[in-house]
Amino acid sequence: MITIEKFETKVGTLTVAWKGERVCVAGFDEQWPALERALARRFGAYDAREAKTSKSANIRAYLDGDIAAIDDVAVDLGGTPFQRAVWDALRHIPAGETTTYGELARALGNARAVRAVGRANAMNPASVVVPCHRVIGKSGALTGYAGGVARKRWLLDHERSSSSLHC
């Protein structure tokens, strides 16, 4: 059983799909059709119900300024072992900080895997919860983000301003 929760944020409507107590996909409106197809590929014909409780309380808290709140959100994202390693590494980038695809590849033990890291990052099924927005280009430019570059900029600014409030 998949539970769906949809709610408004300062940067658009976010939909989160839960399998039990674990996020299996999360994304903004324009991402949802692709995420829904990913759910169908992974679970076949799945039974989805609207959440009766606010399972997404930690995600909402993060978006409201408690930037550490997403650290404890459990995930069940599927993916290949390599994708899961990249997605896990994304969750270890401190809020308000950024890294590059090359730095992430080196941290995973294969400096030549930059493109593979970029592809796994792009395939992240749970944006915001698995903070792929913290990865930028080698030049420091904000590169693509499934939720849009403007939203990526907002998330990074949000984390930086919220983390400065907690120093």
CA distance 38 to 58: 24
Which residues are known catalytic residues? 132
This prediction's pTM? 0.89
Per-residue pLDDT tens over the stretch 11-38? 999 999 999 999 999 999 888 899 988 8
Q: What are the extents of the domains in the chain?
A: 2-72, 81-165
- CB 50 within 8 Å of CB 5: yes
Among the listed residues 66, 80, 76, 85, the one whose alpha carbon sits nearest the alpha carbon of residue 26:
76
Q: What is the pLDDT of residues 33-76, one digit of tens each?
A: 999 888 888 888 777 777 667 889 999 999 999 999 999 899 99
Third-level CATH fold of 2-72: Double Stranded RNA Binding Domain (3.30.160)
Task: Kindly tell me the number of DSSP H helices and DSSP E strands found in the chain.
Answer: 6, 6
Cα–Cα distance, 131 to 124 (Å, whole number): 9
Query: Is residue 74 within 8 Å of 22, Cβ to Cβ?
Result: yes
Q: Judge contact between 54 and 2, C-beta under 8 A.
A: no
Q: What is the 3-state secondary structure (H, E, C) of 23-71?
A: EEEEEEHHHHHHHHHHHHHHHCCCCEEECCCCCCHHHHHHHCCCCCHHH
Pick the CATH number of 81-165 from 3.40.50.300, 3.40.250.10, 3.40.50.1970, 1.10.10.10: 1.10.10.10
